[in-house]
A = this chain, B = another copy of it.
Amino acid sequence: MRSWKIGLAIAMLACIAALSLTAQDGASDGPRFVDGTRLARPTNYREWVFVGSSVGLTYLPPGNGTAAPPFANVFVNPSSYRSFMQTGKWPNATMLVLEVRRSSSESELVKGGRFQTDLVALEANVKDSRLPDGWAFYTWGPPSALKDAADPAPPGQAIPGEGTCVDCHINRTAVERTFVQFYPTLLEVARQKGTVKPGF
């Protein structure tokens, strides 16, 4: 009878280990740093949660290059999304990926409007307690660097903290350093939770 219980205990421990490995999918989906300063490019961000898309959005007076305005898609790691939906705030180890794609109307079928085509830029906005400022922006460089098949997840470089994108993300965003005012499903939750900055 005693050995029966030992067998059960061993198997239960193995089972708990296997189940926690499965559950980790959600918890370990945040930023991964390389050499402490660079950000590994997630290979599966297209399976993360989509929070919004815009077209031709610019915060500067538009120039003359708006004939083919690009789309910007934003994705967030799933565990941080689920946390935001509960609290209206971003937890530690949150990573939002901004994917910029060319737009096109070139299709025999299409009589108006634009759809998305090639990837032209990939950037990230990260909230992490390991960062000196708590937040940082990263870029994975020009499109040619994004297609390096030999290294599917090259690390991204930090964008200097003095850049206009950082200032704007601090001063003009609806929730923390993120443009939740442009992500309608997140904005609704943030309003319910009272985490939206005054003025939004």
> What is the interface of chain A, defined by CB distance below 8 A to chain B?
1, 3-8, 10-12, 14-15, 18-19, 22-23, 46-47, 49-50, 52-62, 66, 69, 71, 73, 75, 78, 81, 101, 103, 107, 109-119, 168, 172, 181-185
Contacts and interface: CB of A to CB of B under 8 A. Distances in A.
Given A15-B11, A117-B184, A184-B117, A49 B47 contact: yes
A47 B110 contact: no
A184 B101 contact: yes
Contacts of A113: 54-58, 62, 69
B57 A184 contact: no
B110 A58 contact: yes
24 contacts: A4-B4, A6-B7, A7-B8, A8-B11, A12-B15, A15-B15, A15-B19, A18-B19, A19-B19, A22-B23, A53-B53, A54-B113, A54-B115, A55-B55, A55-B71, A57-B110, A57-B112, A57-B114, A58-B111, A58-B113, A59-B111, A62-B111, A69-B112, A107-B181
B112 A66 contact: yes
A18 B181 CA distance: 40
A7 B11 contact: yes
Given A15-B15, A107-B181, A81 B47 contact: yes
Nearest to A182: B115
A57 B115 contact: yes
A27 B152 CA distance: 27
A184 to B, nearest CB: 6
Contacts of A181: 107
